[in-house]
Structure formats: C-alpha cells, structure tokens
Amino acid sequence: MELNIEKLQTLLSVMVNELGAAQNSALVIIGEELGLYRKMAERGAISSIELAEATDTKERYVREWLAAQAASGFVDYDAATGRFTLSPEQAAVFAVEDSPVNMIGGFVALDAIYADRTKLTHAFRHGGGVSWTDRCNCMFCGTDRFFRPGYKANLVESWLPSLEGVVEKLERGARVADIGCGFGSSTLLMAKAFPKSEFTGIDFHAASIEHASGHAKGMSNVRFETARAQNFEGSSFDLVTIFDALHDMGDPVGAVSHIAKALKPDGTLMLVEPMAGDSLADNLNPVGRVFYAASANTCVPASLGQEVGAALGAQAGQAKLTEVLNAGGFSKVRRATETPFNMVLEARL
C-alpha cells in the first residue's frame, strides 16, 4: 500500500487536534464543576496559585489545567506575567450560564456518552436501541443545559413571533402543550412570558417531569405530566410545541397524528429541529459533524429503543420532516425562521 504523504500529514494533523479535543473535554467538565471558569471570569488576570486559593483546589492540578486550557485556546496566557485570563468571548462560552453561546451542557452530556459506550457497542452489534430511560443521568442535565441558552435567547424573542398569529393568541390566553419537554426549560420560558396562557409540559421520562415540576413551584399557569407523545391527554390546544425531540421519537408519525387530533382546527404545531440540509452532502460541515455524532450516540439509539423505531436522526432535514408532518395530518408546512443551530417549522392542519 503506497501512501500519499501529503494526505497522510493532513489527516494526522486532524487526528492530533481530535485527541487534544477529546482529552480536554473531561477538563472542561472539571473546570465547570469546580467553578474554575466562573472564578476566572470574576477575577480577571489570575495566576494558578490565586485560582487554586479562590476555588479551594490544589495548585499543581490547577496549573496543569490552565496550561491545557491555554493550549486549546480556551483561556489566554500572558508569558510576561505568568497570568491567565478569560476573554469576554471565552467567558460567554464557558462561564456565563445564560449566554446564548454557552457550550458547557454539550460537554456535560459527553459524560453519558462514554458511560454508556458498552450499551451503544452492543446495540451496534446486535441491533435494538438504548432507551432514554437507560441513559446515564448526566445525559438529561447535559441536554437541558446545552439547549436552554438557545431557547432563552430565541424562543420568546424571535421563534414564537415568526408564527402566524400565535403571539396574539398567547397574549390573550391560549392552551399550549409542550411535547418532549424534558426538564421543562422551554415550557417555563413560555409560561413566564405569557401569564394569561395555560401550559402543559409533557414527557415520557418520569424523572425529568419530576425535575421540571420542581422548577414550576409558584407558577399557576403551568403544569407537567408524564405521558407519551402518541397518547397524551387533552384537546383543543391552540399551540403544540416540540423542541429538538421529534427525531428522537420511535413513532414520529404517530406522535404528529395524535397532535393533529389534539389541536384546534386553527391551531399551530411549532417544530424546532436541529439545522440540517436534505442530504448528507449538505451537512458535511462543523455543525453537521456535531449533530451527526450526537445522533449516532444518542438520537438514533433512543428511537430504535421504542416501538416503530423510525430513527429519523438529528440531521433529518426539512424535506423528511415535512413528509412526517404531512403523513400525520398537517397539510401546510413552512420554515418560519432559523438559527445556525436550529430550524423552526410551522405546521397547520
């Protein structure tokens, strides 16, 4: 076998970068858990000794952690002073909880990927799926933390206003079901923004519903219940929402069909899904890379662990999603708006 040295060197360069990224993923989680990023954001330029003292950690570990972060470009290092800083941009990604570009949740979810690797390997070899209920607990909190900043930045300000007549209904008082709500971040954001409307968050994962209910205390216009998308209770909803969840469902057509029956005739289904083109070639880019990997590790196994097992995947694309919506009874589908990470589809009967 004759090797093209130039291509080999290019590939090896990529792999060195990949190994560094993989190694540093664990360190990002550690930095979050110990408050290292947050303290750096508070203090400005800081030494390893000062950061260790401020976070009650051991300096020798912190020193090596800072070196790894600097080599990754996650923090800045001043060789003249020996101090490290977190720029405003770096803080937005690692330290500011409500930042729309905070990426910590994605790293936290990686804990579950590695913890569940043997389950995934078994599924690859023997078929079947890895149910959401069988995942490591950090998958649930990591997923919520990854998506919540984007929802907070876009849901009330731009996504809902992009739908025809929906905000006006919500301001007057509407009935809303949020399907696949997880920890309830999307449900609670809407409920706080529209106090005259009634919101029901629905998810088949009982532990997530329990967590969501804990955050809803004191709010009279929101409740959470454990139910499946194919047979949840309730009818005459003005709006049904699904955030980054339809592609994880085993029977997405069954879910959409039930939603169609639960909506008012003039009601709206808002479907938020990962940004994707309609072909593999369209999605061979950095965003697609993240979503395809997440899909192989989480989304496809989740769907294959349920009845039907449609396994749409996180890069299904608008054309395929429209097919599902049409099959479920929605004749009018359009892309209402989008971000670099999400597309928002409006579906009507």
User: For residues 168 and 270, what is the distance between their CA atoms, to the nearest angstrom?
Assistant: 15
**CA–CA separation, 173 vs 197, rounded Å?**
4
- Check whether 138 has a pLDDT greater than 90: no
CA distance 165 to 185: 23
Q: How far apart are CA 179 and CA 171, in angstroms?
A: 21
Cα–Cα distance between 52 and 34 in angstroms, integer? 10
Cβ neighbourhood burial of 75 (10 Å; 0-12, 13-18, 19+): buried
pLDDT digits (tens, 9 = 90+) for 22-40: 999 999 999 999 999 999 9
In the structure, what pLDDT confidence band is assigned to residue 309 with cuts at 50, 70 and 90?
A: very high
How many CB atoms are located within 10 Å of the residue 107 CB?
Answer: 21
pLDDT in tens, 182-241: 999 999 999 999 999 999 999 999 999 999 999 998 899 999 999 999 999 999 999 999
Give the pairing type, strands 198-203 and 222-226: parallel
| Averaged pLDDT for residues 313-330 | 98
Predicted local confidence at residue 116, as pLDDT? 93
> How confident is residue 299, by pLDDT bands cut at 50, 70 and 90?
very high
For the cut 90, the answer to whether the pLDDT of residue 133 exceeds it is no
Is pLDDT of 136 > 90?
no
Q: What is the token pair recorded at 339?
A: 């971000």
Structure confidence at residue 134 (pLDDT): 87
Half-sphere exposure of 60 (CA within 13 A, CB side): 0
Got the DSSP string for 15-44?
HHHHHHHHHHHHHHHHHHHTTHHHHHHHH-
State residue 84's pLDDT score. 98
| Among the ranges given (42-51, 80-89, 98-107, 186-195), the one the predictor scored with the smallest mean pLDDT | 98-107
Query: Looking at residue 13, what is its pLDDT?
Result: 95
In the structure, what pLDDT confidence band is assigned to residue 168 with cuts at 50, 70 and 90?
very high
Read off the pLDDT of each residue in 325-336 and give the average, rounded to a whole number.
Answer: 98
Across the chain, mean pLDDT equals 96
Q: How far apart are the first and last CA of the chain?
A: 59
